[in-house]
Protein backbone atom coordinates (compact mmCIF):
# COMPACT_ATOMS: atom_id res chain seq x y z
CA UNK A 1 0.00 0.00 0.00
CA UNK A 2 1.52 3.40 -0.95
CA UNK A 3 1.73 6.08 1.73
CA UNK A 4 -1.21 8.43 2.18
CA UNK A 5 -1.04 12.13 1.36
CA UNK A 6 -3.42 12.81 4.19
CA UNK A 7 -4.53 10.80 7.19
CA UNK A 8 -7.48 11.62 9.46
CA UNK A 9 -7.16 10.18 12.91
CA UNK A 10 -8.86 10.44 16.31
CA UNK A 11 -12.36 11.07 14.98
CA UNK A 12 -15.51 9.04 14.91
CA UNK A 13 -16.30 8.24 11.27
CA UNK A 14 -19.80 8.43 9.83
CA UNK A 15 -19.46 6.38 6.67
CA UNK A 16 -22.65 7.63 4.99
CA UNK A 17 -25.06 5.24 6.66
CA UNK A 18 -25.64 3.68 10.09
CA UNK A 19 -23.87 4.50 13.34
CA UNK A 20 -20.36 6.01 13.23
CA UNK A 21 -17.35 3.75 13.65
CA UNK A 22 -14.64 4.47 16.20
CA UNK A 23 -10.92 3.80 16.41
CA UNK A 24 -10.36 4.03 12.67
CA UNK A 25 -8.21 6.19 10.42
CA UNK A 26 -9.19 7.45 6.99
CA UNK A 27 -6.34 7.66 4.48
CA UNK A 28 -6.42 9.81 1.34
CA UNK A 29 -4.16 9.75 -1.67
CA UNK A 30 -4.56 11.54 -5.00
CA UNK A 31 -7.90 13.00 -3.93
CA UNK A 32 -9.46 9.62 -3.12
CA UNK A 33 -9.97 7.60 0.00
CA UNK A 34 -7.51 4.70 -0.15
CA UNK A 35 -8.21 3.06 3.20
CA UNK A 36 -10.50 3.06 6.22
CA UNK A 37 -8.67 0.88 8.73
CA UNK A 38 -8.25 0.41 12.50
CA UNK A 39 -5.76 2.82 14.10
CA UNK A 40 -3.39 -0.09 14.74
CA UNK A 41 -2.85 -0.47 10.99
CA UNK A 42 -2.26 3.24 10.40
CA UNK A 43 1.54 3.16 10.52
CA UNK A 44 1.70 1.26 7.23
CA UNK A 45 0.00 4.24 5.56
CA UNK A 46 2.27 6.94 6.93
CA UNK A 47 5.19 8.06 4.79
CA UNK A 48 7.60 10.96 4.85
CA UNK A 49 5.10 13.37 3.28
CA UNK A 50 1.92 12.18 4.93
CA UNK A 51 0.02 15.01 6.55
CA UNK A 52 -1.77 13.90 9.70
CA UNK A 53 -5.03 15.57 10.74
CA UNK A 54 -5.76 14.81 14.39
CA UNK A 55 -9.41 15.59 15.01
CA UNK A 56 -10.12 14.13 18.44
CA UNK A 57 -13.72 14.41 19.58
CA UNK A 58 -14.92 15.39 16.13
CA UNK A 59 -16.90 13.48 13.52
CA UNK A 60 -15.55 12.86 10.04
CA UNK A 61 -18.44 12.60 7.59
CA UNK A 62 -18.86 12.53 3.85
CA UNK A 63 -19.41 16.11 2.66
CA UNK A 64 -23.04 17.16 2.78
CA UNK A 65 -24.94 17.39 -0.49
CA UNK A 66 -27.91 19.70 -0.92
CA UNK A 67 -30.66 18.16 -3.05
CA UNK A 68 -32.56 21.41 -3.69
CA UNK A 69 -30.86 24.78 -3.63
CA UNK A 70 -30.68 28.02 -5.63
CA UNK A 71 -27.12 29.17 -5.04
CA UNK A 72 -26.83 31.80 -7.76
CA UNK A 73 -30.01 33.62 -6.75
CA UNK A 74 -28.95 33.33 -3.11
CA UNK A 75 -25.48 34.71 -3.80
CA UNK A 76 -26.88 37.58 -5.87
CA UNK A 77 -29.34 38.37 -3.08
CA UNK A 78 -26.45 38.62 -0.65
CA UNK A 79 -24.92 41.17 -3.00
CA UNK A 80 -28.17 43.17 -3.52
CA UNK A 81 -30.87 44.63 -1.25
CA UNK A 82 -31.00 41.76 1.20
CA UNK A 83 -33.76 41.50 3.80
CA UNK A 84 -32.99 37.98 5.03
CA UNK A 85 -31.76 39.27 8.38
CA UNK A 86 -34.73 41.60 8.99
CA UNK A 87 -36.43 40.89 12.30
CA UNK A 88 -39.83 42.45 11.54
CA UNK A 89 -41.68 44.66 9.05
CA UNK A 90 -40.22 47.89 10.40
CA UNK A 91 -36.69 46.51 10.21
CA UNK A 92 -37.28 45.28 6.65
CA UNK A 93 -38.42 48.74 5.54
CA UNK A 94 -35.46 50.35 7.33
CA UNK A 95 -33.09 48.01 5.47
CA UNK A 96 -34.65 49.02 2.14
CA UNK A 97 -34.07 52.68 3.02
CA UNK A 98 -30.48 52.06 4.07
CA UNK A 99 -29.77 50.20 0.85
CA UNK A 100 -31.46 52.85 -1.33
CA UNK A 101 -29.56 55.67 0.39
CA UNK A 102 -26.26 53.79 -0.03
CA UNK A 103 -26.89 53.15 -3.73
CA UNK A 104 -28.17 56.43 -5.18
CA UNK A 105 -27.15 55.46 -8.74
CA UNK A 106 -29.20 52.28 -8.94
CA UNK A 107 -32.29 53.05 -11.04
CA UNK A 108 -34.22 50.13 -9.51
CA UNK A 109 -33.97 48.77 -5.97
CA UNK A 110 -34.08 45.02 -6.43
CA UNK A 111 -33.52 42.28 -3.91
CA UNK A 112 -35.36 39.95 -1.63
CA UNK A 113 -35.47 37.89 1.53
CA UNK A 114 -38.52 39.36 3.27
CA UNK A 115 -40.48 37.04 5.47
CA UNK A 116 -44.23 36.58 5.04
CA UNK A 117 -44.82 36.20 8.76
CA UNK A 118 -43.65 39.79 9.33
CA UNK A 119 -46.70 41.17 7.50
CA UNK A 120 -50.46 40.84 8.10
CA UNK A 121 -51.79 38.00 5.95
CA UNK A 122 -48.28 37.46 4.60
CA UNK A 123 -48.83 40.37 2.22
CA UNK A 124 -46.79 43.59 2.62
CA UNK A 125 -48.26 46.72 1.03
CA UNK A 126 -46.82 49.21 -1.47
CA UNK A 127 -47.27 52.21 0.83
CA UNK A 128 -44.71 50.82 3.29
CA UNK A 129 -42.11 51.02 0.53
CA UNK A 130 -43.40 54.35 -0.83
CA UNK A 131 -42.68 55.87 2.58
CA UNK A 132 -38.95 55.24 2.10
CA UNK A 133 -38.46 55.08 -1.70
CA UNK A 134 -40.90 57.05 -3.81
CA UNK A 135 -38.80 58.17 -6.78
CA UNK A 136 -37.43 54.81 -7.88
CA UNK A 137 -39.13 51.46 -8.47
CA UNK A 138 -38.62 48.81 -5.78
CA UNK A 139 -39.14 45.07 -6.36
CA UNK A 140 -38.34 42.57 -3.62
CA UNK A 141 -38.85 38.82 -3.65
CA UNK A 142 -40.13 37.04 -0.57
CA UNK A 143 -37.79 34.63 1.19
CA UNK A 144 -39.57 31.68 -0.43
CA UNK A 145 -39.58 33.38 -3.85
CA UNK A 146 -43.28 32.73 -4.30
CA UNK A 147 -44.32 36.36 -3.85
CA UNK A 148 -42.99 39.78 -4.84
CA UNK A 149 -43.39 43.11 -3.05
CA UNK A 150 -43.44 46.26 -5.16
CA UNK A 151 -43.79 49.97 -4.51
CA UNK A 152 -46.11 52.28 -6.43
CA UNK A 153 -43.38 53.40 -8.86
CA UNK A 154 -42.76 49.77 -9.91
CA UNK A 155 -46.49 49.09 -10.27
CA UNK A 156 -46.85 52.20 -12.45
CA UNK A 157 -43.85 51.28 -14.62
CA UNK A 158 -45.30 47.82 -15.22
CA UNK A 159 -48.58 49.47 -16.25
CA UNK A 160 -50.66 47.67 -13.62
CA UNK A 161 -53.90 49.01 -12.19
CA UNK A 162 -57.34 47.92 -11.01
CA UNK A 163 -58.18 46.64 -14.48
CA UNK A 164 -55.20 44.20 -14.59
CA UNK A 165 -56.59 40.66 -14.27
CA UNK A 166 -54.96 37.97 -12.12
CA UNK A 167 -52.93 35.61 -14.31
CA UNK A 168 -54.09 31.98 -14.40
CA UNK A 169 -51.15 30.86 -12.25
CA UNK A 170 -51.04 33.69 -9.75
CA UNK A 171 -52.83 36.30 -7.67
CA UNK A 172 -52.57 40.06 -7.14
CA UNK A 173 -53.35 41.32 -3.64
CA UNK A 174 -55.72 44.28 -4.08
CA UNK A 175 -57.00 47.32 -2.26
CA UNK A 176 -60.75 47.95 -1.86
CA UNK A 177 -60.99 49.56 -5.31
CA UNK A 178 -59.07 46.75 -6.99
CA UNK A 179 -55.75 48.59 -7.36
CA UNK A 180 -52.73 46.36 -6.66
CA UNK A 181 -51.90 46.53 -2.95
CA UNK A 182 -48.22 45.67 -3.35
CA UNK A 183 -47.92 41.86 -3.11
CA UNK A 184 -47.91 39.65 -6.18
CA UNK A 185 -48.12 35.88 -5.69
CA UNK A 186 -46.71 33.14 -7.92
CA UNK A 187 -47.21 33.87 -11.66
CA UNK A 188 -48.28 37.45 -10.89
CA UNK A 189 -44.58 38.18 -10.21
CA UNK A 190 -44.01 37.87 -13.94
CA UNK A 191 -46.03 41.06 -14.54
CA UNK A 192 -42.73 42.84 -13.84
CA UNK A 193 -40.65 40.66 -16.14
CA UNK A 194 -40.52 43.15 -19.03
CA UNK A 195 -39.65 46.22 -16.97
CA UNK A 196 -37.41 44.97 -14.17
CA UNK A 197 -33.68 45.19 -14.79
CA UNK A 198 -31.79 42.06 -15.72
CA UNK A 199 -29.03 40.83 -13.44
CA UNK A 200 -25.79 41.17 -15.38
CA UNK A 201 -23.86 37.98 -16.06
CA UNK A 202 -20.97 39.35 -14.05
CA UNK A 203 -23.16 39.91 -11.00
CA UNK A 204 -24.67 36.43 -11.37
CA UNK A 205 -21.19 34.93 -11.62
CA UNK A 206 -20.06 36.84 -8.55
CA UNK A 207 -23.21 35.52 -6.86
CA UNK A 208 -22.29 31.92 -7.68
CA UNK A 209 -18.81 32.29 -6.23
CA UNK A 210 -20.14 34.01 -3.12
CA UNK A 211 -22.73 31.27 -2.67
CA UNK A 212 -20.16 28.53 -3.14
CA UNK A 213 -18.06 30.07 -0.39
CA UNK A 214 -21.08 30.05 1.93
CA UNK A 215 -21.94 26.45 1.07
CA UNK A 216 -18.41 25.13 1.49
CA UNK A 217 -18.32 26.76 4.93
CA UNK A 218 -21.42 24.72 5.79
CA UNK A 219 -19.73 21.48 4.75
CA UNK A 220 -21.59 21.19 1.44
CA UNK A 221 -19.45 19.65 -1.31
CA UNK A 222 -22.13 19.05 -3.96
CA UNK A 223 -25.62 20.17 -4.78
CA UNK A 224 -28.57 20.03 -7.11
CA UNK A 225 -29.48 23.45 -8.49
CA UNK A 226 -33.27 23.36 -8.58
CA UNK A 227 -33.68 26.00 -11.27
CA UNK A 228 -31.45 26.13 -14.32
CA UNK A 229 -33.37 28.19 -16.83
CA UNK A 230 -34.14 31.68 -17.93
CA UNK A 231 -35.51 34.51 -15.91
CA UNK A 232 -35.23 33.46 -12.25
CA UNK A 233 -35.16 36.74 -10.36
CA UNK A 234 -33.81 38.55 -13.41
CA UNK A 235 -30.88 36.15 -14.00
CA UNK A 236 -30.94 35.36 -17.69
CA UNK A 237 -29.01 32.13 -18.12
CA UNK A 238 -27.95 30.13 -15.10
CA UNK A 239 -26.44 27.40 -17.29
CA UNK A 240 -24.04 29.95 -18.79
CA UNK A 241 -22.93 31.00 -15.31
CA UNK A 242 -22.03 27.43 -14.35
CA UNK A 243 -20.27 26.91 -17.68
CA UNK A 244 -18.19 29.98 -17.02
CA UNK A 245 -17.21 28.67 -13.58
CA UNK A 246 -16.34 25.34 -15.17
CA UNK A 247 -14.21 27.04 -17.84
CA UNK A 248 -12.45 29.28 -15.33
CA UNK A 249 -11.84 26.39 -12.95
CA UNK A 250 -13.66 28.10 -10.08
CA UNK A 251 -16.35 25.46 -9.54
CA UNK A 252 -15.13 23.44 -6.56
CA UNK A 253 -18.30 21.58 -5.65
CA UNK A 254 -20.05 19.15 -8.01
CA UNK A 255 -23.37 20.35 -9.36
CA UNK A 256 -26.37 18.71 -10.96
CA UNK A 257 -28.49 21.30 -12.73
CA UNK A 258 -32.26 20.84 -12.94
CA UNK A 259 -33.44 22.38 -16.19
CA UNK A 260 -36.55 24.46 -15.73
CA UNK A 261 -39.73 23.13 -17.35
CA UNK A 262 -41.82 26.02 -18.71
CA UNK A 263 -45.28 24.96 -17.64
CA UNK A 264 -47.03 26.64 -20.55
CA UNK A 265 -44.58 25.19 -23.08
CA UNK A 266 -44.88 22.02 -25.14
CA UNK A 267 -43.26 18.59 -25.19
CA UNK A 268 -40.66 19.92 -27.62
CA UNK A 269 -38.86 21.13 -24.49
CA UNK A 270 -37.65 17.54 -24.02
CA UNK A 271 -35.58 17.77 -27.17
CA UNK A 272 -34.17 21.18 -26.28
CA UNK A 273 -33.25 19.89 -22.82
CA UNK A 274 -31.57 16.85 -24.31
CA UNK A 275 -29.45 19.12 -26.52
CA UNK A 276 -28.42 21.25 -23.55
CA UNK A 277 -27.60 18.14 -21.52
CA UNK A 278 -25.42 16.83 -24.34
CA UNK A 279 -23.75 20.19 -24.94
CA UNK A 280 -22.69 20.27 -21.29
CA UNK A 281 -21.54 16.64 -21.41
CA UNK A 282 -19.39 17.50 -24.44
CA UNK A 283 -17.48 20.02 -22.30
CA UNK A 284 -16.01 16.99 -20.55
CA UNK A 285 -16.63 18.26 -17.03
CA UNK A 286 -19.65 16.15 -16.03
CA UNK A 287 -17.76 15.17 -12.90
CA UNK A 288 -18.27 18.84 -11.86
CA UNK A 289 -21.42 19.92 -13.68
CA UNK A 290 -24.16 18.11 -15.56
CA UNK A 291 -27.72 18.81 -16.66
CA UNK A 292 -29.53 15.48 -16.47
CA UNK A 293 -32.48 16.69 -14.43
CA UNK A 294 -35.69 18.57 -15.16
CA UNK A 295 -37.50 20.65 -12.58
CA UNK A 296 -41.28 20.67 -12.71
CA UNK A 297 -43.42 22.83 -10.47
CA UNK A 298 -46.55 20.82 -9.70
CA UNK A 299 -48.06 23.44 -7.37
CA UNK A 300 -47.35 26.57 -5.32
CA UNK A 301 -47.01 27.03 -1.57
CA UNK A 302 -49.34 26.74 1.41
CA UNK A 303 -48.79 30.25 2.80
CA UNK A 304 -50.53 31.88 -0.17
CA UNK A 305 -52.92 28.96 -0.64
CA UNK A 306 -51.55 27.89 -4.00
CA UNK A 307 -50.33 24.49 -2.76
CA UNK A 308 -52.57 21.86 -4.43
CA UNK A 309 -54.64 20.16 -1.74
CA UNK A 310 -57.06 17.21 -1.72
CA UNK A 311 -59.36 19.28 0.54
CA UNK A 312 -60.39 22.95 0.38
CA UNK A 313 -58.61 25.73 2.27
CA UNK A 314 -60.58 27.50 4.97
CA UNK A 315 -61.08 31.22 5.37
CA UNK A 316 -60.07 33.14 8.50
CA UNK A 317 -63.41 32.20 10.14
CA UNK A 318 -62.77 28.49 9.66
CA UNK A 319 -65.28 28.08 6.82
CA UNK A 320 -64.45 26.06 3.71
CA UNK A 321 -63.61 28.14 0.64
CA UNK A 322 -63.90 26.95 -2.96
CA UNK A 323 -60.10 27.09 -3.28
CA UNK A 324 -58.03 23.92 -2.96
CA UNK A 325 -54.92 25.38 -4.54
CA UNK A 326 -53.41 25.25 -8.00
CA UNK A 327 -52.18 22.38 -10.12
CA UNK A 328 -49.84 24.31 -12.39
CA UNK A 329 -49.98 21.50 -14.96
CA UNK A 330 -53.06 19.46 -15.76
CA UNK A 331 -52.50 15.95 -14.27
CA UNK A 332 -53.09 14.13 -17.58
CA UNK A 333 -50.58 16.41 -19.24
CA UNK A 334 -48.15 15.92 -16.35
CA UNK A 335 -48.21 12.15 -16.93
CA UNK A 336 -47.32 12.67 -20.60
CA UNK A 337 -44.50 15.07 -19.79
CA UNK A 338 -42.95 12.85 -17.14
CA UNK A 339 -43.24 9.75 -19.33
CA UNK A 340 -41.47 11.57 -22.12
CA UNK A 341 -38.69 12.93 -19.88
CA UNK A 342 -38.19 9.53 -18.24
CA UNK A 343 -37.87 7.92 -21.66
CA UNK A 344 -35.29 10.54 -22.69
CA UNK A 345 -33.16 9.57 -19.69
CA UNK A 346 -33.98 12.57 -17.52
CA UNK A 347 -34.49 12.63 -13.83
CA UNK A 348 -37.59 14.59 -12.82
CA UNK A 349 -37.31 16.86 -9.78
CA UNK A 350 -40.83 17.78 -8.72
CA UNK A 351 -41.82 20.72 -6.57
CA UNK A 352 -44.73 18.96 -4.82
CA UNK A 353 -45.95 20.63 -1.67
CA UNK A 354 -49.65 19.93 -1.09
CA UNK A 355 -51.12 16.43 -0.78
CA UNK A 356 -52.83 16.62 -4.18
CA UNK A 357 -49.57 17.71 -5.84
CA UNK A 358 -47.77 14.76 -4.22
CA UNK A 359 -50.40 12.39 -5.56
CA UNK A 360 -50.26 13.91 -9.05
CA UNK A 361 -46.45 13.66 -9.14
CA UNK A 362 -46.51 10.02 -7.99
CA UNK A 363 -49.26 9.27 -10.54
CA UNK A 364 -47.02 10.71 -13.23
CA UNK A 365 -44.07 8.55 -12.18
CA UNK A 366 -46.38 5.52 -12.12
CA UNK A 367 -47.52 6.30 -15.66
CA UNK A 368 -43.90 6.59 -16.79
CA UNK A 369 -43.02 3.26 -15.15
CA UNK A 370 -45.95 1.57 -16.93
CA UNK A 371 -44.82 2.80 -20.33
CA UNK A 372 -41.03 2.76 -19.98
CA UNK A 373 -40.47 0.05 -17.38
CA UNK A 374 -37.90 0.70 -14.66
CA UNK A 375 -35.33 3.40 -15.49
CA UNK A 376 -32.46 4.88 -13.51
CA UNK A 377 -34.17 8.26 -13.35
CA UNK A 378 -34.20 8.46 -9.55
CA UNK A 379 -37.11 10.91 -9.72
CA UNK A 380 -37.62 12.91 -6.57
CA UNK A 381 -40.31 15.00 -4.92
CA UNK A 382 -39.18 18.07 -3.02
CA UNK A 383 -40.89 19.90 -0.16
CA UNK A 384 -43.61 17.35 0.75
CA UNK A 385 -45.30 19.64 3.22
CA UNK A 386 -48.55 17.67 3.25
CA UNK A 387 -48.51 13.98 2.33
CA UNK A 388 -51.67 11.88 2.67
CA UNK A 389 -51.21 8.61 4.52
CA UNK A 390 -52.27 6.71 1.39
CA UNK A 391 -49.31 8.13 -0.57
CA UNK A 392 -46.45 7.37 1.82
CA UNK A 393 -45.96 3.76 0.67
CA UNK A 394 -45.97 4.72 -3.01
CA UNK A 395 -42.49 6.27 -2.84
CA UNK A 396 -40.85 2.88 -2.30
CA UNK A 397 -43.16 1.14 -4.80
CA UNK A 398 -42.27 3.64 -7.54
CA UNK A 399 -38.62 4.14 -6.51
CA UNK A 400 -39.35 7.82 -6.00
CA UNK A 401 -37.10 9.67 -3.57
CA UNK A 402 -38.47 11.93 -0.83
CA UNK A 403 -36.42 15.13 -0.93
CA UNK A 404 -36.82 16.70 2.53
CA UNK A 405 -36.44 20.34 3.55
CA UNK A 406 -36.30 19.37 7.19
CA UNK A 407 -35.70 22.88 8.51
CA UNK A 408 -39.40 23.60 7.89
CA UNK A 409 -40.72 20.71 9.98
CA UNK A 410 -41.25 22.63 13.19
CA UNK A 411 -43.85 24.88 14.75
CA UNK A 412 -42.99 28.49 13.91
CA UNK A 413 -45.00 31.56 12.92
CA UNK A 414 -45.07 30.80 9.21
CA UNK A 415 -46.78 27.46 9.72
CA UNK A 416 -48.78 28.30 12.87
CA UNK A 417 -50.22 31.59 11.61
CA UNK A 418 -50.23 31.38 7.81
CA UNK A 419 -50.76 27.67 7.10
CA UNK A 420 -52.40 25.46 9.72
CA UNK A 421 -55.37 27.77 10.51
CA UNK A 422 -56.37 27.62 6.83
CA UNK A 423 -56.18 23.85 6.47
CA UNK A 424 -58.71 21.22 7.48
CA UNK A 425 -58.68 19.60 10.93
CA UNK A 426 -56.22 16.76 11.12
CA UNK A 427 -53.81 18.24 8.60
CA UNK A 428 -51.25 19.10 11.24
CA UNK A 429 -50.55 15.39 11.59
CA UNK A 430 -49.78 15.16 7.87
CA UNK A 431 -47.15 17.93 7.79
CA UNK A 432 -43.72 16.71 6.67
CA UNK A 433 -44.38 13.09 7.71
CA UNK A 434 -40.75 11.95 7.60
CA UNK A 435 -41.24 9.12 10.08
CA UNK A 436 -44.11 7.66 8.06
CA UNK A 437 -42.02 7.85 4.88
CA UNK A 438 -39.12 5.96 6.48
CA UNK A 439 -41.40 3.31 7.97
CA UNK A 440 -42.84 2.80 4.49
CA UNK A 441 -39.40 2.27 2.99
CA UNK A 442 -38.97 5.59 1.15
CA UNK A 443 -35.47 6.61 0.20
CA UNK A 444 -34.61 10.03 1.58
CA UNK A 445 -32.57 12.91 0.24
CA UNK A 446 -32.27 16.33 1.87
CA UNK A 447 -31.83 19.92 0.85
CA UNK A 448 -32.35 23.47 2.01
CA UNK A 449 -34.09 25.46 -0.74
CA UNK A 450 -31.67 28.28 0.18
CA UNK A 451 -32.25 31.28 -0.04
CA UNK A 452 -35.82 30.37 0.94
CA UNK A 453 -34.33 29.32 4.27
CA UNK A 454 -30.89 28.72 5.78
CA UNK A 455 -28.62 26.36 3.86
CA UNK A 456 -27.07 24.99 7.08
CA UNK A 457 -27.46 21.18 7.06
CA UNK A 458 -26.86 20.94 10.82
CA UNK A 459 -29.81 23.26 11.52
CA UNK A 460 -32.01 21.09 9.29
CA UNK A 461 -30.71 17.85 10.82
CA UNK A 462 -31.42 19.24 14.29
CA UNK A 463 -35.05 19.76 13.34
CA UNK A 464 -35.35 16.43 11.51
CA UNK A 465 -34.31 14.73 14.75
CA UNK A 466 -36.34 16.90 17.16
CA UNK A 467 -39.21 18.38 15.09
CA UNK A 468 -38.70 21.43 17.29
CA UNK A 469 -36.34 24.33 16.52
CA UNK A 470 -33.65 25.10 19.13
CA UNK A 471 -34.77 27.33 21.97
CA UNK A 472 -38.47 27.25 21.30
CA UNK A 473 -41.05 25.70 23.53
CA UNK A 474 -43.34 23.58 21.37
CA UNK A 475 -44.53 20.06 20.76
CA UNK A 476 -42.84 18.11 17.94
CA UNK A 477 -44.68 19.07 14.74
CA UNK A 478 -47.08 16.31 13.75
CA UNK A 479 -46.07 14.15 16.72
CA UNK A 480 -42.88 12.54 18.01
CA UNK A 481 -43.29 9.56 15.67
CA UNK A 482 -42.38 11.78 12.71
CA UNK A 483 -38.85 12.37 14.04
CA UNK A 484 -35.86 10.81 12.33
CA UNK A 485 -32.92 9.34 14.17
CA UNK A 486 -29.64 11.18 13.67
CA UNK A 487 -28.04 8.50 11.47
CA UNK A 488 -31.04 8.55 9.12
CA UNK A 489 -30.98 12.35 8.89
CA UNK A 490 -27.21 12.38 8.27
CA UNK A 491 -27.58 9.68 5.61
CA UNK A 492 -30.27 11.72 3.82
CA UNK A 493 -27.87 14.68 3.62
CA UNK A 494 -24.91 12.58 2.42
CA UNK A 495 -25.43 9.20 0.73
CA UNK A 496 -29.16 9.85 0.12
CA UNK A 497 -28.54 13.02 -1.84
CA UNK A 498 -25.54 11.42 -3.59
CA UNK A 499 -28.03 8.84 -4.89
CA UNK A 500 -30.38 11.53 -6.18
CA UNK A 501 -27.42 13.29 -7.79
CA UNK A 502 -26.34 10.01 -9.48
CA UNK A 503 -23.06 10.37 -7.61
CA UNK A 504 -23.36 7.50 -5.14
CA UNK A 505 -20.63 5.60 -7.00
CA UNK A 506 -17.96 8.11 -5.92
CA UNK A 507 -19.41 10.46 -3.29
CA UNK A 508 -21.71 10.40 -0.27
CA UNK A 509 -19.81 7.64 1.57
CA UNK A 510 -16.47 7.23 3.30
CA UNK A 511 -15.26 4.12 1.51
CA UNK A 512 -12.15 2.99 -0.27
CA UNK A 513 -12.08 4.39 -3.81
CA UNK A 514 -14.49 7.24 -3.11
CA UNK A 515 -13.56 10.90 -3.56
CA UNK A 516 -12.20 12.48 -0.40
CA UNK A 517 -15.10 14.97 -0.18
CA UNK A 518 -15.37 15.31 3.57
CA UNK A 519 -16.54 17.48 6.43
CA UNK A 520 -15.27 17.60 10.01
CA UNK A 521 -17.98 18.35 12.59
CA UNK A 522 -17.15 19.33 16.16
CA UNK A 523 -18.43 18.33 18.59
CA UNK A 524 -19.44 14.99 17.09
CA UNK A 525 -23.24 15.35 16.86
CA UNK A 526 -23.63 11.65 17.73
CA UNK A 527 -22.03 12.43 21.11
CA UNK A 528 -24.62 15.11 21.89
CA UNK A 529 -28.13 14.73 23.23
CA UNK A 530 -30.68 15.28 20.44
CA UNK A 531 -31.68 18.77 21.62
CA UNK A 532 -28.02 19.84 21.47
CA UNK A 533 -27.27 18.76 17.90
CA UNK A 534 -27.38 22.38 16.68
CA UNK A 535 -24.23 23.03 18.78
CA UNK A 536 -22.15 20.96 16.39
CA UNK A 537 -20.36 23.10 13.78
CA UNK A 538 -18.22 22.67 10.70
CA UNK A 539 -14.49 22.82 11.42
CA UNK A 540 -13.24 22.08 7.92
CA UNK A 541 -14.45 21.00 4.50
CA UNK A 542 -12.44 18.98 1.99
CA UNK A 543 -12.91 18.31 -1.71
CA UNK A 544 -10.81 15.61 -3.34
CA UNK A 545 -8.45 15.71 -0.39
CA UNK A 546 -7.94 19.46 -0.53
CA UNK A 547 -9.04 21.71 2.30
CA UNK A 548 -11.56 24.17 0.83
CA UNK A 549 -12.78 25.66 4.09
CA UNK A 550 -11.29 25.97 7.52
CA UNK A 551 -12.93 27.68 10.47
CA UNK A 552 -9.63 28.87 11.87
CA UNK A 553 -7.78 29.82 8.71
ZN1 LIG B 1 -36.71 25.84 -4.62
3-state DSSP assignment of residue 178: coil
Taking the centre of ligand 1 as the mean of its atom positions, its distance from the CA of residue 5, in whole angstroms, is 39
By C-alpha distance, which of 208, 217, 168, 133 is closest to 548? Answer: 217
Taking the centre of ligand 1 as the mean of its atom positions, its distance from the CA of residue 382, in whole angstroms, is 8
In whole angstroms, give the CA distance from residue 238 to residue 70: 10
In whole angstroms, give the CA distance from residue 15 to residue 358: 31
Find the mean pLDDT for residues 515-536. 98
Taking the centre of ligand 1 as the mean of its atom positions, its distance from the CA of residue 350, in whole angstroms, is 10
Strands 518-522 vs 537-543: parallel, antiparallel or unpaired: antiparallel
- Band of the pLDDT at 418, cuts 50, 70, 90? confident
Q: Is residue 476 over pLDDT 80?
A: yes
Return the H-helix or E-strand segment holding 416.
helix 413-418
Task: Render pLDDT for 421-459 as a digit per residue (tens, 0 to 9).
Answer: 999 998 999 999 999 999 999 999 999 999 888 999 999
- Band of the pLDDT at 286, cuts 50, 70, 90? confident
Q: Residue 322 to residues 123, 256, 312, 415: CA-CA distances in angstroms?
A: 21, 39, 6, 21
Q: Is residue 404 over pLDDT 80?
A: yes
pLDDT attached to residue 344: 98
Taking the centre of ligand 1 as the mean of its atom positions, its distance from the CA of residue 362, in whole angstroms, is 19
Taking the centre of ligand 1 as the mean of its atom positions, its distance from the CA of residue 111, in whole angstroms, is 17
Taking the centre of ligand 1 as the mean of its atom positions, its distance from the CA of residue 154, in whole angstroms, is 25
Q: Is residue 232 over pLDDT 70?
A: no
Q: Residue 101 to residues 98, 109, 135, 140: CA-CA distances in angstroms?
A: 5, 10, 12, 16
Dihedral class, residue 301 (left if φ above 0, else alpha if ψ from -120 to 50, else beta) = beta
pLDDT attached to residue 52: 97
| Edge-to-edge order in the sheet of strand 59-62 | 12-13, 59-62, 518-522, 537-543, 546-550
Q: For 227-276, give the DSSP string.
A: EESS-BTTB--HHHHHHHHHHHT---SEEEEEEEP-TTS-TTHHHHHHHH
Q: Residue 267 to residues 158, 292, 344: CA-CA distances in angstroms?
A: 31, 17, 12
Is residue 495 a contact partner of residue 195, using CB atoms and an 8 Å limit? no
Taking the centre of ligand 1 as the mean of its atom positions, its distance from the CA of residue 69, in whole angstroms, is 6
Taking the centre of ligand 1 as the mean of its atom positions, its distance from the CA of residue 534, in whole angstroms, is 24
Q: What is the mean pLDDT of the chain?
A: 95
Q: Is residue 553 over pLDDT 70?
A: no
Taking the centre of ligand 1 as the mean of its atom positions, its distance from the CA of residue 306, in whole angstroms, is 15
Taking the centre of ligand 1 as the mean of its atom positions, its distance from the CA of residue 195, in whole angstroms, is 24
pLDDT attached to residue 231: 66
Task: Render pLDDT for 145-201 as a digit per residue (tens, 0 to 9).
Answer: 889 999 999 999 999 999 999 998 889 999 999 999 999 998 899 999 899 988 889
Find the mean pLDDT for residues 327-355. 97
Report how far apart the first and last C-alpha atoms of the chain are (Å, whole number): 32
pLDDT attached to residue 291: 96
Taking the centre of ligand 1 as the mean of its atom positions, its distance from the CA of residue 454, in whole angstroms, is 12
Taking the centre of ligand 1 as the mean of its atom positions, its distance from the CA of residue 20, in whole angstroms, is 31
Task: Render pLDDT for 191-221 as a digit per residue (tens, 0 to 9).
Answer: 998 999 888 899 999 999 999 999 999 999 9
Amino acid sequence: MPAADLLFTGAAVFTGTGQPIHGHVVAVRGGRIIAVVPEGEASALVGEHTRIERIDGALLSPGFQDAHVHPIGAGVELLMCNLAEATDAEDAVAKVKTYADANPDETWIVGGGWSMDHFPGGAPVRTLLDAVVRDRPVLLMSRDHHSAWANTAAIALAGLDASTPDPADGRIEREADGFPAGTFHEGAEHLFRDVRPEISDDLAYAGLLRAQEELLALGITGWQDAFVGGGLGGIQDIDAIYRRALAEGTLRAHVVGAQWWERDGGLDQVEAMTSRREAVAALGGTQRYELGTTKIMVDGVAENQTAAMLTPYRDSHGHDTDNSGLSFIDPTRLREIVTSLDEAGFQVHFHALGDRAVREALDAIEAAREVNGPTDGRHHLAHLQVVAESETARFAELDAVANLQALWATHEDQIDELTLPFMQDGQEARQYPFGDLVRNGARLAAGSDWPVSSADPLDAIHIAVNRVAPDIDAEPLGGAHQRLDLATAMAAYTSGTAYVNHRDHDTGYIREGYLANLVVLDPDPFSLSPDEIHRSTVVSTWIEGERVYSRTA
